[in-house]
Every structure is written in structure tokens, then in C-alpha cells.
């Protein structure tokens, strides 16, 4: 394994570890839902590194005597130990881990962002049951609310498999264009001079917020044979 491959492997594991930390906080929080659990299972299956890092994070979490389980504090009855510098250092590390994981989980839940480097592809399962397949050198930002599911494609190409929910439309924003779907599969490619929307299954509605002749990239809607 050369240096570049080793660095890429380490980056993937670090990213999986960060995502695992966020998942464990969300799963043990007060807002655990069947949709969240389904999204977690899809995340586990998406990459072997995910399951491995989740096991590591879980081991650290469970070693903390006051870690929250399903939103409830775990009570552990022990004799008061004598002061021990090493024990204090471990406790401090665990406390920092839980705090960092909680903060990361909040950030990922609010506005998670996914990026692929050149030559990298990645599949991202979402909490609602939808999936995004990111192509090389692409970037998306997820903005989910109670009544709308929004994904901003900031660059590159992404394939969307949308879970059906007519009460909560799924909208992909690329430049000045919005692609709205209820339950369908489509691909969006965002280039500086044009945007291609390729419909694979179902229907989409494409609208533009740009002023006429405003210089925004043209949007073409194609249908895959």
C-alpha cells in the first residue's frame, strides 16, 4: 500500500468514526424514530468501515459509567474509588468524546454535508429512506425540516432515489433551479454552464428562480431510455 492509498484509507476511517459518533448520540437521544433506525441500518451496510468504527465508538460509549442509553441516564452503583490520576485522565477523555460526539451529531442533524474527492464515489442513506449516490468531485448539503426535504447540489453529480412522501416533498437545488419530486429516481449534474436532470423513474418538476437572461446555467431535462 503506497502513501496515497494509506492516507485515503485513514481519511475514510476517520470519516466513518466521526459519523459513528454522531449516530450513537442520535440513537441514544430522545428523538429516536423508526426512520432514524432504518437510516442507521443503511449506513451500517454502506461500508464495512462504518460497522467497524461503530463497534469502536460503542465500546468507548459503554465504558462511560454515566452515558445516556435511549435518552435515560444509566445509574451505576460503585464504591467511591481513591483518587487516581490515570482514572481521572480516562474519565476526562470519555467526557470530551461524549461532548464532541454530541456537538457533531447536532451539526450533522442540522445541516449535514457530504463531499467526494476526485475519483471517489459514495452512497449516502438518508433518515427518510431516500439514498444519494455521489459521483466524483461532488458536494451536497442536506436541509431536512418537518414539511420539506431539501438537498443542495453545490457541485458535481448525484443520483437520487427518493422515498415516497407526498406530504413532505423532496427538492434538489442546483444553482438557480429547483427539482421537486415526491417519489422517484433521477440524476442531477451541475456544471458551470449547464445543469442536466436525467429522469430514471417517476416524475419531477423543474422550476427556475433566475431572472430571464440573468446568465444562470441552462437546465435541461432528459429521460433515460
Structure confidence by residue, pLDDT tens digits, 81-136:
455 555 545 544 554 555 455 445 544 444 588 999 999 999 988 878 899 999 99
Task: Identify whether residues 49 and 123 lie together within a single domain.
Answer: no
198: domain range? 113-223
Same domain for 66 and 9? yes
pLDDT at 121: 92
C-alpha grid cell for residue 6? 494509506
Percent of residues, the chain, with pLDDT higher than 90: 25
> pLDDT (tens digit, 9 = 90+) per residue, 193-218?
889 999 999 888 888 876 544 556 77
Q: What is the CATH number of the domain that holds 171?
A: 2.60.120.1440
Quick one: pLDDT at residue 157?
Answer: 97
pTM for this prediction: 0.54
pLDDT at 150 over 90: yes
Average pLDDT in the 169-175 region? 93
Among 134, 118, 103, CA closest to 18: 103
Torsion angle (degrees, nearest 10) of CA 132, 186, 121, 108: -20
Residue carrying C-alpha cell 445509574: 75
Whether 132 and 79 map to the same domain: the answer is no
Amino acid at each position: 500500500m503506497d502513501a496515497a492509498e494509506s492516507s485515503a484509507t485513514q481519511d475514510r476511517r476517520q470519516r466513518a468514526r466521526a459519523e459513528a459518533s454522531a449516530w450513537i448520540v442520535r440513537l441514544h437521544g430522545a428523538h429516536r424514530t423508526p426512520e432514524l433506525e432504518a437510516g442507521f441500518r443503511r449506513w451500517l451496510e454502506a461500508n464495512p468501515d462504518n460497522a467497524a468504527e461503530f463497534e469502536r465508538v460503542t465500546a468507548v460509549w459503554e465504558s462511560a459509567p454515566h452515558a445516556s442509553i435511549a435518552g435515560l441516564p444509566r445509574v451505576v452503583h460503585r464504591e467511591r474509588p481513591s483518587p487516581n490520576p490515570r482514572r481521572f485522565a480516562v474519565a476526562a477523555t470519555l467526557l470530551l468524546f461524549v461532548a464532541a460526539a454530541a456537538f457533531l451529531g447536532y451539526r450533522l442533524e442540522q445541516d449535514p454535508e457530504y463531499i467526494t474527492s476526485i475519483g471517489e464515489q459514495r452512497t449516502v442513506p438518508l433518515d427518510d429512506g431516500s439514498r444519494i449516490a455521489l459521483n466524483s468531485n461532488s458536494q451536497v448539503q442536506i436541509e431536512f425540516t418537518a414539511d420539506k426535504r431539501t438537498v443542495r447540489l453545490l457541485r458535481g453529480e448525484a443520483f437520487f432515489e427518493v422515498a415516497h412522501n407526498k406530504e413532505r416533498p423532496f427538492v434538489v437545488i442546483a444553482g438557480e433551479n429547483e427539482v421537486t419530486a415526491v417519489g422517484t429516481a433521477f440524476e442531477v449534474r451541475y456544471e458551470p454552464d449547464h445543469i442536466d436532470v436525467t429522469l430514471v423513474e417517476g416524475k419531477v418538476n423543474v422550476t427556475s428562480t433566475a431572472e430571464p437572461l440573468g446568465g444562470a446555467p441552462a437546465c435541461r431535462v432528459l429521460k433515460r431510455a
